[in-house]
Each structure stands twice: as C-alpha cells, then as structure tokens.
Amino acid sequence: MKLNKIHWNEVPVENVTPQMERKLVYGEKIMIARMKFKDGFEVPLHHHESEQISQVLSGTVRFWFGKDKEEVMDLHAGETVVIPANVPHAALMIGDVEGIDTWSPIREDWLDGSDDYLRK
C-alpha cells in the first residue's frame, strides 16, 4: 500500500470559469474538492449518483433541493450539509465563497471535463 501526503498548496488549481476555481484530491472511491467562487456564481439544478457533503468555509451558499427546488437552505461559514445520492440540487453563491465538497463515488464528470453544467 502506497500512501501519499498531500498539501493543498501543492494541488493544481483548475479555473473552471472566471468565477469558479477548484482543486481536486481523489482516490478510487472518494473525491474532495476545495473551491472558490465569486459572488453571484450559480450552480444549475443537477443530480448525480454520488452522495455529497458540502462545507462552507467562508461566505454563504443558498441551496435549493428537489426537482422543483421546493426546499431552500442557506449554508454559512462553518456549516455543512449532507446531500443524498440522486437528490436534485442547485446553488447560488452569496458573497465570495470558499468551500469543500466531498463525494462518494468520485465525480467522473469532474475528471473527464464533461461537467458542462458548471462551465456555462
């Protein structure tokens, strides 16, 4: 077994859009992303097979959950939400936001660049 110690400062930054950047660390079954967003960035309604844990380090993220966005939740610095697999969700960044998201299984679309919903 080969273990690697990784420092966030050594992980390359991917500029997804001018309003979103991310750093990814992943193994076979789990992925973590450290992200920065500019005020007003929107994540369109989407869903995926991965269970997701979203943590807000700074700023506020307004989430909508459900296919009709029927549930709204504001997540502030220091708060975390667990999003079950296949639950539709969208988000709006209120102020500049830094956050960490974790998924299992890993988000293949984030690795192969097919995450078009973020790049519009």
Taking only the tens place, the pLDDT of each residue in 26-71 is 999 999 999 999 999 999 999 999 999 999 999 999 999 999 999 9
Over 90: is that where the pLDDT of 73 sits?
A: yes
- Looking at the chain, the number of H-run helices and the number of E-run strands are 1, 8
DSSP3 helix / strand / coil % (the chain, rounded to 5): 10, 55, 40
* 103 part of a folded domain: yes
User: Backbone phi, then psi, for 8, in 5-degree steps?
Assistant: -55, -35
Residue 55 structural domain: 20-118
Residue 9, domain member (yes or no) = no
User: What does pTM read for this prediction?
Assistant: 0.93
Please enumerate in sequence order all residues whose Cβ is within 8 A of that of 49, keeping only pairs 6 or more positions apart, or say none.
85, 86, 105
Number of domains in the chain: 1
For 38, which DSSP code? -
With respect to residue 55, please indicate whether it lies within any of the assigned structural domains: yes
**Does some domain include residue 84?**
yes
CATH number at residue 47: 2.60.120.10
- Asked if the structure places residue 25 within a domain, the reply is yes
What local confidence, expressed as pLDDT, does residue 19 receive? 97
Q: Coil, strand, or helix at residue 5?
A: coil
Specify the 3-state DSSP secondary structure of 116: helix
96 lies in a domain? Answer: yes
90 within a domain of the structure (yes/no)? yes
Domain membership of residue 5 (yes or no) is: no
CA triple 82-83-89, angle to 5 deg: 140
